[in-house]
């Protein structure tokens, strides 16, 4: 697998014209292949920083640096340490040696797929979630016979890397706005967006079914008599056909709760997708609603849910009987807290593998994927200790499902 990392070298080329109107960024270290020097013309190149160099500056072991830079999910390390390692590696211009990894010979030979991972500072808490999608994607692509080239960094850096090292197809993993998708489309290669809905740009995509997931969680809360429901989500807006729209979790939550005549705007709290943000938002919610606090909260990411749970513990609030929590994603961190968090669990392995198969079909000109298509992945509501699971469902007029706008989902998966 080839992998590129940003570099702070001041002598690298500026971004290409195609990326001129995007967010400014730093430079990156180009991977170059030089001819063998001969005679007195031999030139001594500057030594590239090593993992040991990064470890020395970051104040950690070389083994820790190696595992962090390779996104080893089994490593137990604080987010502060992880961020420091990435920052030091970037500032020193560290990048892994180019290494080609071939899967078994596929019928398309060893074509190259560029996997672009987009983790903006706002979504720091999403880095591990993206990892759980990206690894199955890359593994499946290699099994299909493709060479995977992983690209990190800002859009201008990615554009320049793709210009210098062309790929046969592009997989964009993470949050991308419409402008970024347009820039990637300029390479005129098969492009698949994974996690961001890009159908408005006539770009194939694979995303979670957020609307159905939100409805499943809300119906569960309501069936337990919990009608005062809050939401922790992002405060971002996304561009779609030049129209700004809110976080899809907020849209689904607001629309469905309005249909139920249960929507309370002051129960919605918006911030970053981090545990720290979830903690601060939940503390704010508890302070602002001392007399009529929400009975339950839906969190749009596991990291926010973990922080929210800590705030409830510190406030002496019983979880789940005073306030229940359901989070979206279902990463292992939700089972490393007490009580364990109930989750809308996304099968990231299946999502990554299906994305690889869809991209393979696009590369091989499969007629079924030529038109813009949107593959939705549903979630499973896994009930754990942060929700009230043992009481019988409440029967009330509020559960009338006569509205044709939404279908109530009544299938739940109980763990333990």
pLDDT, tens digit (0-9, with 9 covering 90-100), for 77-105: 776 787 678 767 766 766 554 333 333 33
Residue 407 lies in a domain: yes
- Alpha helices by DSSP H, listed for 260-336, are 275-288, 302-314
Confidence of residue 73 (pLDDT cuts 50, 70, 90): low
Range of the domain at 68: 1-7+51-73+83-99
Mean pLDDT lowest among 134-148, 162-176, 396-410: 396-410
Of the candidates 323, 276, 281, 330, which has an alpha carbon nearest to the alpha carbon of residue 301? Answer: 330
The encoded tokens of residue 348 equal: 């990231």
Residue 288 above 80 pLDDT?
A: yes
- Both 395 and 271 in a single domain? yes
- Alpha helices by DSSP H, listed for 316-386, are 348-363
d(CA 39, CA 18): 41
Number of domains in the chain: 2
Residue 234 lies in a domain: yes
Residue 101 confidence (pLDDT): 36
Q: Which helix (H) or strand (E) holds 118?
A: strand 112-118
- Both 261 and 383 in a single domain? yes
Percent of the chain with pLDDT over 70: 71
Query: What is the reported pTM?
Result: 0.69
Residue 384 lies in a domain: yes
- Both 92 and 231 in a single domain? no
- Both 218 and 93 in a single domain? no
Residue 104 lies in a domain: no
Residue 140 lies in a domain: no
Residue 244 lies in a domain: yes
Q: Any idea how long the chain is?
A: 416
- Both 258 and 390 in a single domain? yes
Residue 341 confidence (pLDDT): 98
Residue 105 confidence (pLDDT): 35
Measuring CA to CA, how many Å separate 52 from each of 45, 55, 110, 111, 296?
A: 19, 5, 33, 33, 48
CATH code, 295? 3.40.50.2300
- C-alpha 184, offset from chain centre: 19
Residue 175 lies in a domain: no
Q: At what angle do helices 62-69 and 79-92 cross, to 10 degrees?
A: 90
- Both 238 and 92 in a single domain? no
- The one-character DSSP state at 399 is G
Residue 278 lies in a domain: yes
Q: Which residue has the tokens 């993206």?
A: 130
- The one-character DSSP state at 28 is B
């Amino acid at each position: 697998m080839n992998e590129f990392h940003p570099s702070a070298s001041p002598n690298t080329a500026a971004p290409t014209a195609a990326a001129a109107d995007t967010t400014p960024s730093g430079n990156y270290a180009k991977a170059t292949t030089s001819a063998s020097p001969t005679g007195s013309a031999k030139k001594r190149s500057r030594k590239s920083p090593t993992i040991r160099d990064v470890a020395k500056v970051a104040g950690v072991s070389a083994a820790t640096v190696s595992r962090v830079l390779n996104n080893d999910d089994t490593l137990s390390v604080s987010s502060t340490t992880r961020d420091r390692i990435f920052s030091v590696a970037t500032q020193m211009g560290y990048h892994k040696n180019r290494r080609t990894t071939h899967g078994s010979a596929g019928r398309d030979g060893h074509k190259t797929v560029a996997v672009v991972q987009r983790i903006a500072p706002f979504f720091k808490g999403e880095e591990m979630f993206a990892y759980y999608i990206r690894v199955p994607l890359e593994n499946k692509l290699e099994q299909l016979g493709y060479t995977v080239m992983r690209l990190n960094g800002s859009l201008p850096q990615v554009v320049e890397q793709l210009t210098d090292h062309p790929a046969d197809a592009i997989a964009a993993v993470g949050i991308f706005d419409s402008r970024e998708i347009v820039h990637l489309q300029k390479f005129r290669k098969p492009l698949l967006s994974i996690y961001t809905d890009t159908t408005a740009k006539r770009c194939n995509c694979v995303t979670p079914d957020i609307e159905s997931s939100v409805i499943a969680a809300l119906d569960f809360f309501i069936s337990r008599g919990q009608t005062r429901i809050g939401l922790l989500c992002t405060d971002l807006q996304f561009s779609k056909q030049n129209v700004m729209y809110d976080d899809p979790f907020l849209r689904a939550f607001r629309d469905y709760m309005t249909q139920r005549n249960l929507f309370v705007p002051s129960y919605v709290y918006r911030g970053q997708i981090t545990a720290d943000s979830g903690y601060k938002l939940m503390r704010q919610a508890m302070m602002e609603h001392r007399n009529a606090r929400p009975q339950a909260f839906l969190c749009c990411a596991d990291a926010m849910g973990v922080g929210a749970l800590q705030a409830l513990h510190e406030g002496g609030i019983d979880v789940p009987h005073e306030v229940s929590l359901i989070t979206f994603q279902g990463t292992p961190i939700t089972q490393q807290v007490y009580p364990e968090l109930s989750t809308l669990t996304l099968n990231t392995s299946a999502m990554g593998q299906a994305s690889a198969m869809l991209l393979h079909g696009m590369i091989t000109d499969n007629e079924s994927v030529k038109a813009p298509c949107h593959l939705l992945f549903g979630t499973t509501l896994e009930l754990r200790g942060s929700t009230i699971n043992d009481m019988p469902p409440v029967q009330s007029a509020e559960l009338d499902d006569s509205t044709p706008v939404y279908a109530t989902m009544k299938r739940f998966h109980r763990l333990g």
